[in-house]
Amino acid sequence: MPSIESKLTAARAITVADQSVAAEIPEGFARLRLSVASLCGTDLHYYSHFANGIFVLNNPVTLGHEACAYVVDPNGSSLKKGQLVALNPIMNCQACDACKRGEENLCTAKKFPGSATTVPHLDGFFRDIIDHPIRCCRPVSAQVDPKHLTFAEPMACALHSLNKGGVAEGQKVLVTGCGPMGLLAIACASARGADVTAIDLRPDAVDVARAVGAKSGLVVGTLNEADLEGQFDVVIEASGAIPAFNTALKAVRRKGCVSILSNIQMGGADVLLNLIMLKEINVVGSFQFNCEFEQAIQLIETQAIDFDALTATTFPLSQTNEALEFMASGKAFGKILLLADNDDQTLKT
Ligand SMILES: [Zn+2]
Ligand SMILES: [Zn+2]
């Protein structure tokens, strides 16, 4: 079966070509065939600027770090040929202090695919054949829908932000920003039994937030923000916008927690720091995930999450460019998925 790969060669330029696959699989790696991948805000940053903030790409690279795939060659491991696996993109060193503490997200020597933070860059998952470390492949039962399993990575990020914020059953939680990450945080917090309110500038995004579990949805500009003041135990900031961060500081109760999930960009910011002091707000950052990857997969296996509501649309892998353009248009509400072109959900070799 032919295989293709997409490469970002410059800002807004992706080439799709036949993939040349190495004859040898590296030691400790399994050979996989892509089933479903999904687009992340990070991919969009690289696509739009050939950089993600201060991290500039040195050379063309295949984007993508959210995917699931079928095992083509287990390469001597206990994985089974044809098995569906979720790919954990964090390839940590397993030796540094952070790794020893189980905080592989903060590993000082980790490798991450489709990113300028790893030099030389590793190709990401927007390609048919992927060699991936065996220990980063999590097999799932045949009942799991690959279109759900690709959410494992972003859902792990969302769960990490909930864990950092201490979100628990019965709490009042506000999620600022209803992009894909905000929507995942809403779905996961609702699944955890929290009473979730969502807020965004875009009414359509707020509608999706309600569909995935928010009890109430608010549209910026149509409400009196004073009504939100001090109302929430935890706020998950998922918009990356400074005004939303200030809304979070106002909306959280005294001694509450604001957990930053968004890929907030560098730059000057007029932040209401005095509220952090006056209300003794706990502001925590949330970067990637650790044990939450496993938690995400278990949550996917329980089928407690409505992934169809979280999915904006799908494109074939051969149309990676079109998929990213659609994401750039801002017209997608929820995740955009990439499906392997010839995927009939059975093993391909
Ligand atoms: Zn991502
Ligand atoms: Zn490490």
Strand segments (E) across 19-146: 29-38, 51-52, 55-56, 67-73, 84-87, 129-133, 137-139
> Which residues does 139 contact at the CB level (< 8 Å), separation at least 6?
71, 79, 80, 83, 84, 85
Residue pLDDT, tens place only, 167-210: 999 999 999 999 999 999 999 999 999 999 999 999 999 999 99
How far, in Å, is the centroid of ligand 1 from the Cα of 226?
Answer: 33
The pLDDT, as a whole number, for residue 268 is 83
How far, in Å, is the centroid of ligand 1 from the Cα of 225?
Answer: 30
Please report which ligand is nearest the Cα atom of 38: 1
How far, in Å, is the centroid of ligand 2 from the Cα of 99?
Answer: 4
On the CB side of 173, how many CA atoms lie within 13 Å of its CA? 33
Q: Region 6-35: what's the mean pLDDT? A: 97
Which fold, 4-151+305-339?
A: Quinone Oxidoreductase; Chain A, domain 1 (3.90.180)
How far, in Å, is the centroid of ligand 1 from the Cα of 275?
Answer: 31
| Residue 98 vs residues 39, 41, 265, 276: alpha-carbon distances, Å | 28, 26, 24, 28
Q: Which tokens is 168 given?
A: 């628990």
Distance between CA atoms of 324 and 39, rounded to whole angstroms? 8
* CATH entry, 159-285, from 3.40.50.720, 1.25.40.340, 3.30.460.80, 3.40.1360.10: 3.40.50.720
The pLDDT, as a whole number, for residue 266 is 76
Name which of 51, 75, 71 is nearest 61 in CA terms: 51
Q: Region 91-106: what's the mean pLDDT? A: 97
Domain positions in the chain: 4-151+305-339, 159-285
Q: Which tokens is 265 given?
A: 């960009």
How far, in Å, is the centroid of ligand 2 from the Cα of 104?
Answer: 6
Q: What is the pTM of this model?
A: 0.95
How far, in Å, is the centroid of ligand 1 from the Cα of 311?
Answer: 15
Q: Which tokens is 205 given?
A: 């995004």
Q: Which tokens is 96 given?
A: 């540094």
